[in-house]
Amino acid sequence: MTERLDQIFVVLKHWLLGYLPESWQTPVGVVISVVCIIGLYPALFAITTVLERKGVGRMQNRLGPNRVGPYGILQPMADGIKSLTKEDIVPTSADAVVHFLAPVILVVTVFMGFAVLPMGRNMVLVDMDAGLLFYFAMGASTELSVFMAGWSSRNKYSLLGAMRAVAQMISYEVALLLSSVVIVMMTGSLSLVKIVEAQNHYSYGFPHWFIFTPWGLAAFIMYAIAGTAETNRSPFDLPEGESELVAGYHTEYSGFKFALFFLGEYVAMFSISGLGSTLFLGGWMAPFSGLQFIPSWIWFFGKLFVSMCVFIWLRGTLPRLRQDQLMNFAWKFVLPMCLLNLFVAGLWRFMGEGWLRWLVCSAILILAYVSLGREGMRRQKFGPRSYRYAE
């Protein structure tokens, strides 16, 4: 029974394919999986928007949406219909072709990332040998669409927002890549399925997730920071800083194109969270060996849900960074820590089993963290604030 429930989607797909002739099975199977992915994540996106608006509302001491349906849960339906029926305005001076292509490319590249994410036991669209590389290649392509959106709008706020977004994404992409390289070093594979399998064993009921090692924890923290910045989420949401830039690079988008940007942002969050849980939190694995009877896909989406809640929580609590703080943080703190972490992971690998490597690796990382933090804070001068008004 447990086995059946665990594999229910795989079995269902094979059952459906059984009705088709042999030569059709592979292409139709791929199409079914793709349609599932494309249908599932927008649905999750709809649920998350309500969750976010209610959650942030609660944190800001207000009610949030509560008019459409019980407790406002039908709000995304209303929003969807609204954005579909709204007029699609393209500014006269805008570059029409690029303006049209930008949201399309964004959504396409964001969805491509899911092709290699294992969402459950045997539930991966393509088990690529270079899966992680594919994921990052697709992630890198989203930057271009952000630039296209900002540039083609012919609006200074859009362009400024796009420049900020691209600068931020490039800076934090380095950290994102370097923090994931550690995992590749330890598993010896770029395939995400193999990375999950490498974590798939338990001792004393506890799993061997990579986050439960000194280098894994450090890499996870760096990954979480870089992932938040990569998806332009608060506290790294300068590209859309509404007090300065109206709405950043999608200022000049309306109607369904705006909805596509919105969708792209949230789906990118899902995909970054999914990759994070695959790399560090054991993907579809249960957190205790006693809980393995619960289907694997529930664990994957449960981890996704928890990380979305953390994203919302962060948005509700943290103030926005300034541009110089953002860049200094990326290049002077996150990047050195990531580089050091590579070295620590190598040390861990060659020190052999035993408690000594735990001690040495933790000591190096904590020492580096404290001294880098101290060094960074020492330069700051904390005094009474001074304001300079525009003349």
Residues interacting with other proteins, by CB under 8 A?
95, 98, 128-130, 133-134, 136-141, 143-144, 147-148, 151, 159, 163, 166, 170, 173, 188-190
Phi-psi domain of 187 (left: phi exceeds 0; alpha: psi -120 through 50; beta: other) = alpha
CB of 122 vs other proteins, minimal distance in Å: 21
Q: Closer CB to other proteins, residue 189 or residue 200?
A: 189
Residue 185 CB-density burial (10 A; 0-12 exposed, 13-18 middle, 19+ buried): middle
Distance of CA 88 to the CA centre of its chain: 29
Q: Closer CB to other proteins, residue 145 or residue 273?
A: 145
CB of 158 vs other proteins, minimal distance in Å: 13
CB of 288 vs other proteins, minimal distance in Å: 32
What is the amino acid identity at position 42?
P
Residue 153 CB-density burial (10 A; 0-12 exposed, 13-18 middle, 19+ buried): buried
Q: Closer CB to other proteins, residue 107 or residue 304?
A: 107
Query: What distance, in Å, lies between the first and last C-alpha atoms of the chain?
Result: 73
CB of 388 vs other proteins, minimal distance in Å: 21
| Rounded Cα gap, residues 75 and 362, in angstroms | 47
Q: Is 61 helix (H, G, I), strand (E, B) or coil?
A: coil
Q: Is 309 helix (H, G, I), strand (E, B) or coil?
A: helix
Q: Closer CB to other proteins, residue 343 or residue 358?
A: 343
Q: Closer CB to other proteins, residue 147 or residue 301?
A: 147
For residue 136, count other CB atoms closer than 10 A to its CB: 18
CB of 140 vs other proteins, minimal distance in Å: 2
Q: Closer CB to other proteins, residue 161 or residue 207?
A: 161
CB of 101 vs other proteins, minimal distance in Å: 9
Give the residue carrying structure tokens 């649905």. Answer: 43
Closest CA to 7 of 351, 298, 227: 298
